[in-house]
Amino acid sequence: MTGKGKPKLGDIETTMMEVRRFDASVTIDKYNTLPKNPLYIILDNLRSAFNVGSIFRLCDTMRVSGLFLCGYTAFPPHIKLEKTSLGTIDYVPWRKFDSAAAAVKYLQEQNIPVWAAETTTASKIYNEVEYPPSVGIVFGNEALGISKEVLDLCDDLIEIPLYGFKNSLNVATSCAIIGFRIIEKIGKNTIRLDR
């Protein structure tokens, strides 16, 4: 307790707060029948398998419709993916493509627009746009960004405004910021599972 009888946040006995420490109580078969959000994440030649594993975990939390691993992006089975994905690989619908261009064309053939998350002079601010009802978002290589070929194929460009010295964020961080914004705007399947 702090002065004047006020409980501290860490004083569990007086706050009646319980920290949720458990994953959802649902079988993989049941989970796979749940509807997914109309968001597809496309990774264009990511160098770090640890980043890819983090994005698997993120894609599970957003319940995306698909994660596309393109070019030399690491894909399962892979020990580094398993480490940072924390057991989510089986919960994310993923697919391997030879190139991000092939993944972009695949979605566009299904009338799903694809946008690139890249800092360019033509990019729109990610939280100032209206997203289509279903969308794919391309995230690029940690050092090189998204290839020009893929940028030219994309239907639109978005970026996160940056206010510091660096012109980029970690790719998993960028995916989280943009992904959750999209889920907030177009997500239809945001019912939380029992813990």
Q: What is the mean pLDDT of residues 151-166?
A: 94
Query: What is the number of residues in the chain?
Result: 195
> Does the pLDDT of residue 142 top 80, yes or no?
yes
> Does the pLDDT of residue 171 top 60, yes or no?
yes
Q: What is the mean pLDDT of residues 176-187?
A: 93
Structural domain count of the chain: 1
Strand-by-strand arrangement of the 135-139 sheet: 94-97, 64-70, 37-44, 135-139, 114-117, 156-159, 124-125
Residue 136 belongs to some domain of the structure: yes
Q: What is the CATH number for 61?
A: 3.40.1280.10
Residue 54 belongs to some domain of the structure: yes
Residue 1 belongs to some domain of the structure: no
pLDDT per position as a tens digit, 9-26: 555 555 667 776 666 767
Q: How many whole angstroms separate alpha carbon 137 and alpha carbon 158?
A: 9
Question: Mean pLDDT over all residues of the chain?
Answer: 87
What's the pLDDT score for residue 195? 47
> Does the pLDDT of residue 49 top 90, yes or no?
no
What's the pLDDT score for residue 8? 60
Residue 114 belongs to some domain of the structure: yes
Nearest to 100 by CA among 63, 141, 143: 141
Residue 141 belongs to some domain of the structure: yes
Q: What is the mean pLDDT of residues 151-165?
A: 95
pLDDT per position as a tens digit, 89-112: 888 999 999 999 999 999 999 999
DSSP SS3 for 185: helix
Query: Residue 157: which domain range?
Result: 43-186
Residue 193 belongs to some domain of the structure: no
